[in-house]
Amino acid sequence: MFAYKKPVLKKCNLCGKRIFVRHSGEYYCQSCSHFIRRMHSLGLTEKAKKSIHKYVKKFSFICAYSGVNLELKDYTSPWYCNYNFPDKRNLNIAVLSAAVFTVMKARLTKTEFCYYVLQLYNNRIKHTKFKKRPIVHWKLLDPNGCCICGQPKISTKSHYCVTCAHAAHRMHMLRLPTTTREVIWGYIRKYGYVCYYTGMKLDITDPHSPWYLSFDHCTPRDPKKVVITSILINEMKNELSEKEFWYYIAQLANHFRKGTPVRKIKLKYWSRQYIPS
């Protein structure tokens, strides 16, 4: 007859949670087993896997950039656990971060991310000048792969200069409503090509620059209010509303400076899904 094997109480090898083990090959709790499978499916280096193991054992499932608790099951959540490299020059060191802050950080190093969060916060609250700093890994577009990376040819019948013709072409490509385009043109006539969020002059010639002109929906996916900003700020804001963006800039700035915990708020427009492997 089949002999019933009594489960043994052990600790999960990763998070330390107590689990009942029936088989000798069981080392992790259910959540950590799923976490380990995801990590192996991403093709991380062995050193990166070890650094993540070390990180989890030391800090548990906590975001490295904000200190918030991470979600391990709901991949539609902005707090879903994601893997991130503090410096993309070193793929052997990886940490955990919330999906929303992974998106905000994008191609920045951790140092650059902290710097620009504080710059945004100071510009917003203290009205200090936004200061640029070289970005190590910024490489955005393939010159042969984008239909709008170069200056368009201007005909004699055009009503725009080279710069404005290019901006008009991009707005046409984005299918922005006529009323929205007029609001953007009104802003440009009044302030010039400066970022709506920082007041910083935008780059209008180099599509490889992080400061290149970009169009942002103040409310995600709502074409009624579109503003001009840099690609860098647009990527950081991503699927956040303007109010949510400034809230988390302030929260992250206080966390970086004072170590205060980041307080979560419900993100109304977050729809990004990290499909688990």
Closest CA to 197 of 238, 242, 152: 242
Judge if 56 and 174 occupy the same domain. Answer: no
Domain boundary among 80, 107, 134: 107
Instruction: Give me the DSSP letters along 10-36.
Output: EE-TTT--EEEESSTT--S-HHHHHHH
User: 12-51 pLDDT, tens per residue?
Assistant: 777 777 766 666 555 777 778 778 888 877 778 888 888 9
Judge if 97 and 125 occupy the same domain. Answer: no
Asked whether residue 267 is domain-assigned, the answer is no
> pTM for the complete prediction?
0.68
What's the residue count for the chain?
277
Q: Which residues contact 157 (CB under 8 A, 6 or more apart)?
A: none
User: 232-260 pLDDT, tens per residue?
Assistant: 999 999 899 999 999 999 999 999 999 99
Judge if 77 and 156 occupy the same domain. Answer: no
Judge if 212 and 120 occupy the same domain. Answer: yes
Asked whether residue 226 is domain-assigned, the answer is yes
Judge if 190 and 72 occupy the same domain. Answer: no
Which residues of the chain carry a pLDDT beneath 70? 1-9, 19-26, 137, 139-160, 273-277
Judge if 47 and 175 occupy the same domain. Answer: no
pLDDT number for residue 126 = 92
- Total domains, the chain: 2
Average pLDDT, the chain: 83
Domain boundary among 76, 107, 138: 107
Asked whether residue 260 is domain-assigned, the answer is no
What is the domain range of residue 174?
110-255
Judge if 102 and 117 occupy the same domain. Answer: no
Asked whether residue 59 is domain-assigned, the answer is yes
